[in-house]
Structure 1
Amino acid sequence: MTPLKQTAFLPGDRVVLSPYGIGVVSGTCERPLAGQAHTYYQIDFPSTVSRAYIPVADPGCTGIRRALNAADLPALLERLTRGSLELPRQWSARHRLVTEILACGNPFDLADLTCELRRWNVQRGLPDLDRQAFRRALKLLEQEISDLPDQLAAEVCGLLQDVWNEQPNAASAVAAPAV
């Protein structure tokens, strides 16, 4: 007998599916594929009219994961404020790593990326493409926590807004060499 995987979802569960974003499991349904009926989770995306069907037999193959919940917020906040990530100085290598992190959408990796790009931004400002990646990471995190009914979630959203509005240190920006 095969044990149930941890990826079993129930109606009402908040999930993340790249590139759609945050969705809600609305239930399961049977759909034909190659002449056979298969069971799928139906995921609705409240911010769009999109809908996705994820195979119940192997949801992990799609990259779907549970969305953050209130219990995850202290660890996320810790990584947003004290996280570290070794970003390559060479743009092409950095771009590959950043793109991979953004595509994966792991909120804790996004928090580490955000923390490091924030450091860079405050120290010397960010080049356009790094600034776009910074904004994308902030938006992905904000999307995932904005609808959590928790005071800490509101504080984290406020922090994300403050981080985006920070300006580079003028003295460091002038003295620092371009990245």
Structure 2
Amino acid sequence: MFKVGDKVVYPKHGAGTIIGVEEREVLGKKQQYYIIDLSIGGLTAMLPINKAEKLGIRKVIDEDEVKEVINVLKGDKSKMSKNWNRRYRNNLEKIKTGDIYEVTEVVRNLTLRDMEKGLSTGEKKMLNNARQILISELVLAKEMDEEQVEAMINDIFYSDDKS
């Protein structure tokens, strides 16, 4: 169980901080809810405590895992289907897992593909969504602001020195 102040990731929505635990009655049933302030977008999410594990709520990564995420971003593009529909579905499944390395792979692969060949409108939206999820977690893990994290990611892809 998490507590107020814990930094957590809500798969498909991003990272945030638990700012409260409240009991609410929904459809005639009282339940305890985590109140999560999502770090990007100014949104607040209510999540039933008894469904947190099933929904894949997890703690934000630590500094060692941040280094691994950076290594994944710097890595080579994974083999992807040439069929955009299949590629889209595969990437969507990766994002749904809530696994930071899977999301990072989607960001890396779609960014590199966009630089090489461009992306469809759907894949551009997916890339933006995956980037926001990644950035939201790195903001909390590295205690940096959104612009700093975005600049760090952009430097990986768009700087002349890719080492």
Give the TM-score band, short-chain normalised: 0.7 to 0.9
Report if aligned partners of 1:70, 1:150 keep a CA contact under 8 Å in 2: no
| Superposed counterparts of 1:35-46, under 5 Å | 37-45=30-38
How many residues get paired?
157
Residue in 1 aligned with 2:117?
Answer: 125
Which residue does 1:74 correspond to in 2?
67
Q: Shift of the alpha carbon at 1:156? A: 5.8
The DSSP-based 3-state class of the residue aligned with 2:79 is coil
CA distance in 1, matches of 2:77, 2:117: 18
Q: List runs of 5+ in structure 1 lacking aligned partners.
A: 1-7, 167-179
Higher relative contact order (CA 8 A, sep 6+): 2
How is 1:21-170 mapped onto 2 (pairs within 5 angstroms)?
A: 21-32=14-25, 37-45=30-38, 47-55=41-49, 57-82=50-75, 84-122=77-115, 124-129=116-121, 130-149=123-142, 157-162=150-155
Q: How large is the RMSD of aligned CA atoms in angstroms?
A: 3.3
Post-superposition offset of 1:68 = 2.6
How far off is 1:31 after superposition? 3.0
Distance 1:158 1:144 in 2: 15
Instruction: Supply the distance in 1 between the matched residues of 2:152 and 2:27 (Cα, whole angstroms).
Output: 49
Query: Cα distance 1:155–1:27, how it changes in 2: closer, same or farther (>3 A)?
Result: closer
> Any unmatched runs of 5+ in structure 2?
none
CA shift, 1:75, in A, is 1.1
Distance 1:135 1:115 in 2: 12
Select the structure of larger CA radius of gyration. Answer: 1
Share of identical aligned residues, percent? Answer: 19
1:62 aligns to what SS in structure 2?
coil
What letter matches 2:95 in structure 1?
L
Which shows bigger deviation, 72-81 or 16-25? 16-25
Query: Given that residues 31 and 48 in structure 2 are in contact (C-alpha distance below 8 angstroms), is that contact kept between their aligned partners in structure 1?
Result: no
Given the two structures, how large is their TM-score scaled by the length of structure 1?
A: 0.67
